């Protein structure tokens, strides 16, 4: 059974244990899914109300996009564990000879590049989710506006957490092009996403 399909107590117990997975990446993805679900709750409370008839089609589109992000984030919880396993094994490779050291460094780099892929995708999904929250905060029902604020905070946390999980893996990578491209996208997502998240939170507070 996928980690995301187990109950909350199981996930939290596993997260708190000394087991290598789930870790920060899995927690970031789960937090992102929770944040996105809050926006969808607001959307579902908005549709069907006469007051919001003019924006109902747009709300339904946001709901569909939000549902896709939730499913993607749930899948990323397990994907993070999947890519970390070979990396954890690579740490145990011997390096007593020059050949062993070269082999270990090669495997570590390959595994670290793969391990960067999940938190980067978490950042991408978190950014997309933040954009949805921005619009939901503008046109969704005010009765649940606080949940837009809560949701966007979760997604900003996922954005920041994704960055941290990328950074810890970059140290074992020598591929300059990969480092530059990954760092550029990572920083863009963080900067733009955090700005939108903060603006959305400010809007929510203003409406409360």
Give pLDDT tens digits for 129-182: 999 999 999 999 999 999 999 999 999 999 999 999 999 999 889 999 999 999
Class of domain 20-207: mainly alpha
Domain ranges in the chain are 20-207
Tell me what pLDDT residue 21 has.
86
Residue pair 65/128 in contact (Cβ under 8 Å)? The answer is yes
Give pLDDT tens digits for 45-61: 999 999 999 999 999 99
Tell me what pLDDT residue 58 has.
98
Mean pLDDT for the chain overall: 94
Tell me what pLDDT residue 85 has.
85
Closest CA to 42 of 197, 157, 146, 153: 146
Instruction: Locate 122 and state its tokens.
Output: 């978490």
Q: What is the share, in percent, of the chain residues with pLDDT greater than 70?
A: 98
Tell me what pLDDT residue 1 has.
62
CA distance 164 to 161: 5
Neighbours of 45 (CB within 10 A): 16
Alpha helices per DSSP H over 91-144? 98-139
Give pLDDT tens digits for 4-55: 667 889 999 999 999 888 999 999 999 999 999 999 999 999 999 999 999 9
pTM to 2 decimal places: 0.93
What are the DSSP calls for 7-35, one per residue?
A: -HHHHHHHHHSSSSSS-HHHHHHHHHHHH
Residue 99 sits at φ, ψ, to 5 deg, of -65, -45
Tell me what pLDDT residue 84 has.
87
Asked whether residue 3 carries a pLDDT value surpassing 80, the answer given is no
């Amino acid at each position: 059974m996928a980690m995301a399909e187990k109950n909350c107590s199981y996930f939290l117990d596993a997260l708190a244990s000394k087991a290598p997975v789930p870790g920060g990446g899995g927690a970031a993805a789960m937090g992102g899914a929770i944040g996105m679900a809050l926006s969808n709750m607001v959307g579902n409370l908005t549709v069907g109300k006469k007051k919001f008839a003019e924006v109902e089609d747009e709300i339904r589109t946001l709901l569909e996009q939000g549902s896709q992000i939730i499913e993607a984030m749930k899948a990323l919880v397990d994907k993070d564990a999947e890519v970390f396993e070979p990396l954890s094994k690579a740490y145990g490779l011997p390096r007593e000879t020059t050949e062993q050291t070269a082999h270990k460094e090669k495997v570590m780099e390959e595994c670290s590049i793969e391990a960067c892929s999940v938190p980067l995708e978490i950042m991408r999904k978190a950014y997309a989710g933040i954009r949805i929250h921005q619009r939901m905060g503008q046109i969704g029902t005010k009765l649940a506006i606080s949940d837009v604020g809560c949701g966007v905070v979760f997604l900003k946390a996922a954005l920041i957490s994704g960055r941290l999980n990328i950074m810890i893996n970059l140290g074992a990578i020598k591929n300059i092009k990969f480092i530059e491209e990954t760092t550029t996208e990572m920083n863009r997502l963080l900067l733009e996403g955090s700005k939108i998240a903060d603006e959305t939170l400010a809007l929510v507070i203003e409406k409360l």
